Amino acid sequence: MPKMSACSDSKEADLAHKTTLTLYSPRPWQVFQRQSMRTGKVLIDGRLADRADVVEVKFTGRSAGGALDGRWRRAKLDRASRAFRLSAQLPAGGWYSLEVRARVGGETVASARAEKFGVGEVFVTAGQSNSTSCGQFPTKQRSGMVSAFNGTQWKTATDPMWGAYDLIGVSPTELIVYAGGSPWLSFGDAMYKRYGVPIGVAVTGQGGSSVLQWQPGEDVFAWMMTRIWQLGAGGFRAVLWHQGESDCEMPPGQYCEKLARVIEASRAEGGWAIPWSVAKVSYRGPDLPRLDSMRVEFDAIWESGIALAGPDTDTLGGDNRDDDGKGVHFSPKGLRAHGRMWANVIAKWLGKP
């Protein structure tokens, strides 16, 4: 019997050495948007370099409801292209691990693993500097459960958040301006504390941008839409919009009209009814902490039903702002408060865990 086992192990190792398995999905730190509060679909996608009879996958890890069952499941294998795929319904939670094996005649000829992915809540963020990484100092997440997506890769979220239009085509000197803190680590931590699932954030904003720069056909709008297409229909919960400081001098009614056009175009081009949550933003500094003529524009957006009410960040003054309270960007304290405000308003419409 020992000789048979040794022979079998040698044969399997030899076969595995000759065959390659490439796994495209899931990626490390990837968060898949859950379809209900309890479950979501995880896409397994890959290709073999050589033939196989079957491809099987196994998930391990713990969800909020307990350990995953760890059973082997068969993926759909196209023998002509040697591509394999499976859309697996998993409990919300993470981080999870995946094992994939290809077998010929009962022997494993190729294998691969994916680590640290999960099923939770994903958000696209857009707007100007206070939606990106222009806070006074970088912050850190505390949960270890917040991921960031830049369009090609996922990683554990850190400040400055990658993926923003801020970081495209600017000089090294300008880049320093956008290397501060964001509200999204605090937001993710607060969401994880409330819901117990991984949180994914795709930042797309541009510092100093006007709503005019976000109009359909403009580069920044296209940048945001690319992220929306990459995540796919139903692939994220909502777009979170924080912008307005640059547009406080617009004629009455124009901001509401221009932002509505952005929202409607995103849904038309995205191909689904993307929820939007819009913050109330008019803070111009401690001497002008709120501009009522601008605030009514956000009231009109909310009352029209085209977008959900976001946080009122005009309320964050004093030491919540940088430059000893004299700036328009947020201090670390303000960034944490800003993130918690987003989590609180989203919880009102997302509901209980």
What does the pLDDT read at residue 93? 97
- Burial (CB < 10 A; 0-12, 13-18, 19+), residue 267, is middle
The distance of Cα 6 from the centroid of its chain, to the nearest Å, equals 47
User: How would you label 82-97 residue by residue, b for 16+ Cβ within 10 Å and e otherwise?
Assistant: bbbbbebebbbbbbbb
10 Å Cβ neighbour count for 69?
10
CA 107/CA 8 separation, integer angstroms: 9
Q: Domains in the chain, start-ordered, CATH in brackets? A: 19-118 (2.60.40.10), 120-350 (3.40.50.1110)
Query: What stretches in the chain show pLDDT beneath 50?
Result: 1-17, 169-177
> So what's the pLDDT on residue 64?
81
Q: What is the pLDDT of residue 179?
A: 79
Q: Please, what is the Cα angle at 22 between 21 and 25, to 5 degrees?
A: 130
Q: What's residue 168's pLDDT? A: 53
Residue-level pLDDT at 15: 41
Residues 209-230: tens digit of each pLDDT: 999 999 999 999 999 999 999 9
pLDDT of residue 353: 79
Q: How confident is the model at residue 78, as a pLDDT? A: 96
